[in-house]
Structure 1
């Protein structure tokens, strides 16, 4: 790992932090600026939608401008600027604007590193390298849990956001100075997103990519906070500890998935088994949603661990992409993954509101979990028809 890749990895740590820290800040943002769980679900959804909407232009920019300038410019303007808007927020709408800007800023960093890996390393190593970046990035999940709760309690959430904005801006300048663009791919075809969509093998992968990260991203990014607060009256530090445990599971999950495709010489069936475990655990948790804090946290960790299929699915999709379509192809896959979380946040926000009237405190979260079980089942059934590829033959 050279210095440029290390900086992109640190930028991805920031990306993971920003998508997850609302869960810990929810107890502070409610009293301070009147942000309700539905407001925060909407703001979190905007982060993911803005992130997803940027993937097509980022795919074009990676193939034409290069990863260095693409990542640096967006991280500085969107990430640094969005953190400043968040620090100045006085109403829920300001949080939504800030999260959308931060989503734009974080959108290119992982794809920039994947673009470099895809063009400078053999295809058989892509899953391991992709998992490595995800594992490093998941450190942001850890910082966005218990440490962020402590920071918000001691220095205040506004001061913490100003510090994050400064760190984000400095990282962007470092990327501009130290990341090296890979050599341009010479091809008779200019490449396009329409050409990516003509690859029929990807049609059975896109649906699972759309729903596989939606549950873990939405639960860790937001719902674990309101869930533990409303059902168990958990204090902020308990929420911080639960999200820390989820964050550790999300670090260990990609580490486990990374070498499995080469160990068993199959990309498809590693993903099928892991997704099946997530589906079963989601159904069980929905039926036992008010058992205890420890029980719920344990199941959330199971979901976080086995739901870390992102690099494995990305590797499966990457195996069908020719070199001149790598930038557009991986960003199209990423669009599905991140866009799925954004859509899920909007839907679950409405689900929360409509099911919160009457019934027990756990009813809205049971409905949210059943929603995730349903969409994962649909995506998994479609994925069963996908064509497997053998990494050891690459």
Structure 2
């Protein structure tokens, strides 16, 4: 099973890479195939929305046919197929279609590992394992930063995407070969009739869902899309410098996910770890909103702060996991994931419109970015306010 989990990590590395690599490709895609920031914002949003919409069928598949076939088949068809279409793209529409397919392909990988953790390991270590999975998988954020920029400059972006398609296919085949499905849950009586609707009857989830929908969006959008244009248009950064900025955010996300994992056992609470972490992320966003042109170093530090403190996804998942019945674990984690990824996708879609509206007649290059940072800040504050009404998860 160690080999299977290792390849699940590799699959999640690819998932993190694909959701974040457009920031580095922004200049070259704009110059060669006319895919500007708004078109790429739409493509990135489509990735997240496709990913989110797949969570309901993926959850049912994880519970009924198991993680092995669910993850391997979708990653092979959607991930490898989408990367191939991206490599052949001649315009923004092809890029957007490719990102939809890649989103579908990546949709089951993390949740497959979470189902295995939930059913094969002690509940007390779920948060640690979930955080470690995302932390290790966040290597994709790093590979999608400076290393991607170097590779594109060395061999070209099309050749890079063809190579990624091959790697994705190999990982998918390895998942089919090495992942072991957990033992089936033995159900009796009414448990056999449990459906996704039963999750909506769990009162512990209602105050968690709004924060899940908005907490991941700022780090995902800034790392995956807007950090590149921000560094380029406000500070005159080239591809190499953009790669460095996004690398800093990627490293921060790795550190954040590993750090969040064991904190519930350190402090004896999941709710307050999530709350204060996201409060610090909101503080960093406020700094970017108020001082968007204070210098590239300061901006990079604040972006990294959003990334590290906004990496609370595994801890929010662990908080909600405490309320799931055993027979609904697969559908439960994917339901939560739908909110997290779907919220990020919707906000990425909207962010392109916000930026374009603010850029018309803007007095300075940083003015539309300041409004963009405020656009991500306000929902996060509202999500935190509602999250105060949640109750802590049982350990």
**Where does residue 382 of structure 1 map in the other structure?**
386
Q: How many angstroms apart in 1 are the aligned matches of 2:360 and 2:295?
A: 22
**TM-score, structure 1 normalization:** 0.98
- 2:328 alignment partner in structure 1: 325
Whether 2:372 is the aligned partner of 1:372: answer no
Partner residue of 1:60? 60
* Deviation (angstroms), 1:162: 0.3
**Contact in 2 for aligned 1:5/1:113 (Cα 8 Å):** yes
Residue of structure 2 equivalent to 1:35: 35
Q: Mapping of 1:214-225 within 5 angstroms?
A: 214-225=217-228
Q: Distance in 2 between matches of 1:228 and 1:281?
A: 17
Instruction: Look up the match of 1:203.
Output: 206
Counterparts of 1:114 and 1:198 in 2: how far apart (Å)?
22
Partner residue in 1 for 2:249: 246
- Report if aligned partners of 1:254, 1:311 keep a CA contact under 8 Å in 2: yes
Counterpart in the other structure of 1:167: 167
* 2:255 is equivalent to residue 273 of structure 1: no
Deviation per residue, 1:93-133 (Å, 9 max, x gap):
00000000000000000000000000011111000000110
Summarize deviations over 1:175-221 as a string: whole Å, max 9, x none. Answer: 00110000111213232110111111101101000000000000001
User: Structure 1 residue 389: deviation in Å?
Assistant: 2.4
Distance (whole Å) between structure 1 residues aligned to residue 394 and residue 320 of structure 2: 12
Alignment partner of 1:349 is 2:366: no
2:320–2:393: 8 Å Cα contact kept in structure 1? no
Instruction: Work out the CA distance in 2 between the residues paired with 1:75 and 1:21.
Output: 18
Alpha-carbon distance, 1:319 to partner: 0.5
Q: Secondary structure at the match of 2:206?
A: helix
State TM-score, norm by structure 2: 0.98
What is the total number of aligned residue pairs between the two structures? 391
SS at match of 1:70: helix
Q: What pairs with 1:99-178 in structure 2 (closer than 5 Å)?
A: 99-178=99-178
Counterparts of 2:308 and 2:283 in 1: how far apart (Å)? Answer: 13
Indicate the residue corresponding to 1:193 in structure 2. Answer: 196
| Structure 1: gaps spanning 5 or more residues | none
Give the aligned partner of residue 46 of structure 1. Answer: 46
In the alignment, the residues of structure 2 paired with residue 380 and residue 90 of structure 1 have an alpha-carbon distance, to the nearest angstrom, of: 42
Q: Which runs of 5+ in 2 are unaligned?
A: none
Determine if the alignment matches structure 1 residue 334 to structure 2 residue 337.
yes
Q: Which residue of 2 aligns with 1:10?
A: 10
Residues 11 and 168, structure 1, Cα contact 8 Å, conserved in 2: yes
- SS of residue in 2 equivalent to 1:343: helix
- 8 Å contact 1:266–1:390 — kept in the other structure? no
Kept in 2: contact 1:265–1:390 (CA 8 A): no
> Where in structure 1 do 4 or more consecutive aligned residues deviate above 3 Å?
none
- Aligned pairs for 1:78-117 (under 5 A) are 78-117=78-117
Distance across 1 between alignment mates of 2:141 and 2:204: 33
**Residue 366 of structure 2, aligned match among 356, 362, 365:** 362
Distance 1:279 1:245 in 2: 18
Q: How far does residue 390 in structure 1 lie from its aligned partner after superposition?
A: 4.6
For 1:109 and 1:255, how far apart are their aligned partners in 2?
Answer: 19
Deviation at 1:49, TM superposition (A): 0.2
Give the Å deviation of 1:254: 1.3
Instruction: Kindly state the Cα deviation for residue 368 of structure 1 after the two structures are TM-superposed.
Output: 1.0
